[in-house]
Amino acid sequence: MPKTTKDHLEDIFDDLGEEGLKKFKNKLCDRKVEPRIRRAAIEKAKDSMDLAGLMVSTFTTTGMVPVTVEILEAIGFNEQATELKEKTGQGLPVASSPVAPSPVDVVDSGAGQSPKFDSVLSDDWHKHLCVTPCTQSFKNNIISQSGSEVYQVKDKSIRKRLALLINNIDFENKDMTRRGADRDEENMEWLLKELDYQVVKHRNLSAKDMEEAVKGFARRQEHANSDSTFVVIMSHGKRDAILGVQYTSDNPSDTFLVDKIYRYLNSENCPGLRDKPKVILIQACRGGETGRVWASDGEPDELMEIEGDDFVHKEKDFISLMSCTPDTKSYRHVQNGTFYVQNVVDVLMKYAHKDHIEELFRKVICRFENAEKMGSYRQMACKDRTSMPKLFYLFPGL
Question: How far is it, in rounded angstroms, from Cα 70 to Cα 79?
Answer: 12
For residue 115, is the peptide bond before it cis, meaning its omega torsion is within 30 degrees of 0?
A: no
Query: Any alpha helices (H) in 89-150, and if so which ranges?
Result: 125-128, 136-146
Nearest to 326 by CA among 288, 296, 281, 372: 288
Interstrand relation of 337-338 and 332-333 (parallel, antiparallel or unpaired): antiparallel
Backbone angles phi, psi at 222, to 5 degrees: -60, -25
Question: How far is it, in rounded angstroms, from Cα 339 to Cα 343?
Answer: 6
Yes or no: say if 242 and 259 are a contact pair by the CB < 8 Å rule: no
Active site residue 236: yes
**Radius of gyration, CA atoms only, the chain:** 24
Given 223, 236, 333, 353, the catalytic residue: 236
Question: How far is it, in rounded angstroms, from Cα 229 to Cα 357?
Answer: 12
Question: How far is it, in rounded angstroms, from Cα 245 to Cα 262?
Answer: 22
Active site residue 333: no
Question: How far is it, in rounded angstroms, from Cα 319 to Cα 322?
Answer: 10
Given 134, 270, 285, 324, the catalytic residue: 285
3-state secondary structure of 91: coil
Yes or no: say if 249 and 290 are a contact pair by the CB < 8 Å rule: no
Catalytically active residues are 236, 285
